[in-house]
Amino acid sequence: MDTTQLLKGVLDVAVLAAVQHEDGYGYDIVRRLRGAGLGDVGEASVYGTLRRLYGAGALTSYVVPSDGGPHRKYYGINEEGRKMLDEQRVSWTAFANTMADLLATGTTGKPAAVKTIGARA
């Protein structure tokens, strides 16, 4: 399965999760994501996601000087980012459980009257 499209849908939450315990600079975050099993994640996608999350107020940033190369811009999660991560964690868990049921049985086993993920009220 080509995971490129799947990654686009979950990259925000993946990046927030990658910095939830420790700040990191761009390529460091790419390595964390790849080390966690997201081997297809592209550097440009992660850098764009970091800029977008920073612009949305979910991340803080600061620059650390480097003796042996360019300065590194570090990103850290803030309170807004933790809120976003918590909300996305709940959504992801519900979605993953629904997909697991569907793939295992061909049905979600939930009555049609239950609000479905992504459905508009």
Give the other-Cβ count within 10 Å of 91's Cβ.
13
- Quick: pLDDT tens for 62-110: 999 988 888 999 999 999 999 999 999 999 999 999 999 999 988 876 6
d(CA 108, CA 85): 25
Lowest mean pLDDT among 7-21, 42-56, 65-79, 102-116: 102-116
Question: Between 9 and 60, whose confidence is greater?
Answer: 60
Would you state the pLDDT for residue 14?
A: 97
d(CA 102, CA 61): 40
Residue with tokens 């440009």: 44
What would the mean pLDDT of 7-15 be, rounded to a whole number? 92
d(CA 74, CA 88): 23
Q: What is the mean pLDDT of the chain?
A: 90
Residue 37 falls in which region: left (phi positive, over 0), alpha (psi -120 to 50) or beta: left
Would you state the pLDDT for residue 59?
A: 98
What would the mean pLDDT of 47-58 be, rounded to a whole number? 98
